[in-house]
Amino acid sequence: MKEFIATYHTHFSAMMSGKKMEAAGVSYSLEPVPRSLSSSCGTCIRFQAEEWKEEWLDKDCDSIYEVLKENEKNPEYKKIATLS
């Protein structure tokens, strides 16, 4: 299972994506965007899945990142898609 972060232009769009993920049975959490990533609204969705699906994401989703390594001092993320 991989871990992903989706960034958004608006907080509302992040919330709408959360509803789509919930309906699809995808575990997610709304969180502040990690400092090393940027986002217009400051809210992201962190979720786990084998692969991400665009149908889970609201139209104002900005980018998708795969979490490669997570720790406070030196996290690593790989941008895998820019959607808008």
The per-residue pLDDT of the chain, averaged, comes to: 92
pLDDT of residue 39: 62
How many whole angstroms from its chain centre is CA 5? 3
Give the pLDDT confidence of 48-68 residue by residue, as tens digits.
999 999 999 999 999 999 999
Expressed as residue numbers, the domain containing 22 is 2-82
C-beta separation of 30 from 14 below 8 A: yes
Q: How confident is residue 38, by pLDDT bands cut at 50, 70 and 90? A: confident
Looking at the 3D structure of the chain, how many domains does it have? Answer: 1
pLDDT at 71 over 80: no
Q: How confident is residue 74, by pLDDT bands cut at 50, 70 and 90? A: confident
Q: Which residues pair with 66 in a beta bridge?
A: 4, 78
